[in-house]
Amino acid sequence: MAPSLSPASRAAALRDLGASELDLLVIGGGITGAGIARDAALRGVRTGLVEAVDFAAGTSSRSSKLIHGGIRYLQQGDIALVREAATERAVLRRIAPHLAEPLLMVMPTYRMASHLKLRTGLFMFERVAPVDAGDRHQMWDRAEALKEEPLLSAQGLYGAGTFTEYLTDDARLVLANVQGAHASGALVANHAEVVSLEAGRATVRDTLTGETYRVRARVVVNAAGPWVDELRRRAGASGGRRLQLTKGIHLVVPHARLPVTHSVIMTASDKRSIFVVPRDGMTYIGTTDTFYPDAVLVPEVTRADADYLLEATNRTFRGVAIATADVTGTWSGLRPLLAEEGKSPSEISRKDETMVDAATGLVSIAGGKLTAYRRMAERIVDLVGERLGRRLAPCTTSDVPLPGGEAPAPALPGGLAPHEQSRLRRLYGGHCARLLARDASGACVDGLPGILRVEIEHAIDEEMALTLEDVLERRTRALLFDAGQGLGGVAATAAIMARRLGWDDARTAQEIDRYRSLAAGLRSFA
Ligand SMILES: Cc1cc2nc3c(=O)[nH]c(=O)nc-3n(C[C@H](O)[C@H](O)[C@H](O)COP(=O)(O)OP(=O)(O)OC[C@H]3O[C@@H](n4cnc5c(N)ncnc54)[C@H](O)[C@@H]3O)c2cc1C
């Protein structure tokens, strides 16, 4: 059994990070950093991974949660990116089936010409990309489209094209990589910020205690997502392309208010494609793509952002009339893209780029997608091997299952509703067995129907959750997909955490206040 990612393992990692020189220090525990750390550790590289806030606290918990086949890149003529995305989603399906669940995407068409164009595009995609026979596209005529997706507005509808993408849970995908890195010997710590950086030397501050640690590493990889430029500045690393951040937001409404059967792609007022996705008793709507000036953890959701998504939703579906008052939660994130002069946000390439600063040796990586993280990590670790002057063991991440992906989920307590069971399977995969080993009764947290009490204990003992936000936002996803943003269970969750982590009353109250104000911010529109 893999060793636990626990508060004790974090304390040991912080202590050991400074004990002797590492081969590799990875800064940033989003999907990029977590993927690199796991690959490197599996190949025998002595690796440290530090994350300033919590694993996936940045962009990697705020994506659309889709493992894309890359159809969009076909429109941009980037065949290599299409092939990579489609290949990588097949890999993820193999190494972590719970984190890549097939999701039928329905794209309504409103004219014969666009219907035929879509058919040609989907046909071309399947010639270029590896697509399983069962996942091949279908074209529906108007009657079929209305029968299969009855919520579609019939007005002007010609038909629809369908294809399969995969639904993931972004924060849990990151966590599985961090757990895998830890299991292979990497020293990993969240709430550990790099506050200064010179060639091969970093000062890491434990943001929970204020203590600092000096870390030496032969190679340092800057995987700080939207903060890549800030870290380069901190390190005195110049040169290479700059980042251009773009913001994307999502709105969540109860599924009963937007009862779609499938994920449906809509055309926004500016002709961009946006979509709705049913998940865990809710439906989410995404996403926007607008320039954003600064790297911040929680970019605001404006009324204009919400109106943009709701206008298309209310036009595409009949009789729904969704208003901002129906929105139970939102999330927003920043895409760490590489600046391209004169291009609109949606035109900027999603390709990743590696930049090595000649003077400091700092390796920075930016751009990319959740979908292709594994290949991106493989390339970076190959580069790390070159810089270490060592022939590394071959990359094995396309075959070694991610933690939770080793075995299917066991039978779950019958008292849970089907969508509650599918939520548990998606978040934990085979690790559901570990949850049930603590208590098989399926008892839920007071005030949080569908969320097991043992999930909170498991998050602390085996997933290094140290704050209320770590548990409710990124481990259980209650902040996003519970209709009450997890607020109904805040006191009960805090009580479990206080007992296990030794919080006093003041710390417990502070955690609750912080969580409440985070949730309130995500319900108000700037
Ligand atoms: C709205 C939106 C929708 C998207 N949808 C999809 C999708 O459906 N599918 C897909 O494949 N991709 C999608 N993406 C893209 C994908 O989410 C990103 O490419 C990816 O998450 C970026 O990960 P990252 O690890 O590079 O950055 P991040 O996840 O931001 O990680 C960087 C980490 O570095 C940490 N950090 C910063 N400074 C320091 C420091 N000094 N010390 C220590 N740590 C530090 C931060 O706290 C952060 O956690 C989407 C992106 C957005 C914004």
Asked if 444 and 452 touch (Cβ cutoff 8 Å), the reply is: yes
Q: So what's the pLDDT on residue 39?
A: 98
Helix 373-388 and helix 79-95, axial crossing angle in degrees, nearest 10: 100
Query: Using CA positions, which residue lies closest to atom 27 of ligand 1?
Result: 225
How far is Cα 58 from Cα 53, in angstroms, rounded to an integer? 8
Instruction: Give the position, in ligand 1's atom list, of the atom nearest the Cα of 371.
Output: 11
Burial class of 428 by CB neighbour count within 10 A (0 to 12, 13 to 18, 19+)? buried
How far is Cα 23 from Cα 40, in angstroms, rounded to an integer? 10
Asked if 86 and 375 touch (Cβ cutoff 8 Å), the reply is: no
Q: So what's the pLDDT on residue 2?
A: 65
Instruction: Give the position, in ligand 1's atom list, of the atom nearest the Cα of 289.
Output: 1
Helix 505-521 and helix 490-501, axial crossing angle in degrees, nearest 10: 140
Q: So what's the pLDDT on residue 1?
A: 61
How far is Cα 479 from Cα 476, in angstroms, rounded to an integer? 8
Torsion of CA 303, 309, 310, 315, to 10 degrees: 150
Q: How far is the CA of 30 from the centre of ligand 1 (A)?
A: 5
352 backbone dihedrals φ, ψ, rounded to 5°: -85, 160
Tokens, residue 175? 């966590």
Query: Using CA positions, which residue lies closest to atom 3 of ligand 1?
Result: 63
Q: Determine the residue of 81, 369, 473 to mutate for testing ligand 1's pocket, defined as the one with the most ligand atoms within 8 A of the Cβ atom.
A: 369
Q: Determine the residue of 10, 55, 60, 65 to mutate for testing ligand 1's pocket, defined as the one with the most ligand atoms within 8 A of the Cβ atom.
A: 60
Going by C-beta distance under 8 Å and a sequence separation of 6 or more, which residues neighbour residue 57? 29, 51, 297, 474
Query: Using CA positions, which residue lies closest to atom 33 of ligand 1?
Result: 28
Query: Using CA positions, which residue lies closest to atom 41 of ligand 1?
Result: 194
Name the residue type at position 70: G
Q: How far is the CA of 507 from the centre of ligand 1 (A)?
A: 29
pTM: 0.98
How far is Cα 341 from Cα 338, in angstroms, rounded to an integer? 10
Burial class of 132 by CB neighbour count within 10 A (0 to 12, 13 to 18, 19+)? exposed
Instruction: Give the position, in ligand 1's atom list, of the atom nearest the Cα of 192.
Output: 43
Going by C-beta distance under 8 Å and a sequence separation of 6 or more, which residues neighbour residue 524? none
Instruction: Give the position, in ligand 1's atom list, of the atom nearest the Cα of 193.
Output: 42
In Å, the largest CA–CA distance within the chain is 68
Q: So what's the pLDDT on residue 180?
A: 98
Instruction: Give the position, in ligand 1's atom list, of the atom nearest the Cα of 195.
Output: 41
Tokens, residue 419? 């969508």
Q: How far is the CA of 60 from the centre of ligand 1 (A)?
A: 4
Q: How far is the CA of 247 from the centre of ligand 1 (A)?
A: 12
Q: Determine the residue of 26, 62, 63 to mutate for testing ligand 1's pocket, defined as the one with the most ligand atoms within 8 A of the Cβ atom.
A: 63
Closest C-alpha among 293, 300, 283 to residue 248:
300
Asked if 300 and 332 touch (Cβ cutoff 8 Å), the reply is: yes
Enumerate residues lining ligand 1, CB below 6 A.
27-33, 50-53, 57-60, 62-66, 68, 193-194, 223-227, 231, 248, 287, 333-336, 368-371
Query: Using CA positions, which residue lies closest to atom 14 of ligand 1?
Result: 63
Q: How far is the CA of 7 from the centre of ligand 1 (A)?
A: 24
Q: Determine the residue of 36, 50, 64 to mutate for testing ligand 1's pocket, defined as the one with the most ligand atoms within 8 A of the Cβ atom.
A: 64
Q: So what's the pLDDT on residue 129?
A: 86
Name the residue type at position 440: A
Q: How far is the CA of 222 from the centre of ligand 1 (A)?
A: 12
Query: Using CA positions, which residue lies closest to atom 51 of ligand 1?
Result: 63
Q: Determine the residue of 71, 165, 227 to mutate for testing ligand 1's pocket, defined as the one with the most ligand atoms within 8 A of the Cβ atom.
A: 227
Q: So what's the pLDDT on residue 199?
A: 85
Could you say which DSSP state residue 507 is in? H
Please identify every stretch of the chain with a pLDDT value under 50, giving residue numbers as ranges.
none
How far is Cα 135 from Cα 104, in angstroms, rounded to an integer? 9
Q: How far is the CA of 127 from the centre of ligand 1 (A)?
A: 31
Instruction: Give the position, in ligand 1's atom list, of the atom nearest the Cα of 247.
Output: 53
Phi/psi region, residue 441 (left: phi>0; alpha: psi -120 to 50; beta: rest), is alpha
Going by C-beta distance under 8 Å and a sequence separation of 6 or more, which residues neighbour residue 24? 40, 45, 46, 47, 48, 217, 218, 219, 220, 221, 384, 388
